[in-house]
């Protein structure tokens, strides 16, 4: 799949062939608020469920989303993974949100951190 950044007009080549649907794949995803990295995890990830319970990510309340964000390590660029952050162009950092069909579809862009495999992204202290 190739996207064209609406800001810088550069071609962004992705490994995926189509937009992924979080609900059909039981995935949660957050983009970095400063860079083009993203973090993804499964709805049944035990660390995720310890934080917010047995709920799919697209059903979380604003408070549950904030709680989950608080329990993730920062991105290596210094940004934070946020539910409200759009995917960013790896060249100019402009938002690519207008290229997605809706909020439940996502693209794997930049460094993709799989929190199901990389347990170090979860901050499991102080689960209140």
Q: Look at residue 120 in the predicted model and tell me its pLDDT.
A: 94
User: What count of other Cβ atoms lies within 10 Å of the Cβ of residue 128?
Assistant: 4
User: What count of other Cβ atoms lies within 10 Å of the Cβ of residue 125?
Assistant: 6
Domain assignments of the chain as residue spans, ordered by start: 2-121
Nearest Cα neighbor of 106 from 46, 59, 48, 37 is 37
Q: Look at residue 63 in the predicted model and tell me its pLDDT.
A: 97
User: pTM value?
Assistant: 0.93
pLDDT in tens, 10-46: 999 998 999 999 988 899 999 999 999 999 999 999 9
Q: Residue 102: exposed, middle, or buried by beta-carbon count in 10 A (0-12, 13-18, 19+)?
A: exposed
């Amino acid at each position: 799949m190739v996207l064209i950044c609406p800001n810088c007009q550069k071609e962004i080549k992705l490994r995926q062939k189509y937009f992924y649907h979080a609900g059909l794949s039981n995935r949660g995803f957050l983009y970095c608020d400063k860079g083009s990295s993203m973090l993804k995890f499964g709805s049944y990830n035990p660390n995720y469920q310890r934080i917010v319970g047995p709920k799919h990510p697209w059903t979380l309340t604003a408070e549950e989303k904030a709680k989950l964000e608080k329990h993730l390590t920062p991105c290596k660029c210094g940004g934070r993974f946020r539910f409200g952050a759009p995917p960013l162009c790896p060249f100019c950092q402009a938002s690519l949100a207008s290229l997605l069909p809706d909020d439940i579809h996502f693209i794997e862009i930049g460094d993709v951190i799989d929190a199901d495999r990389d347990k170090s992204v979860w901050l499991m202290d102080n689960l209140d």
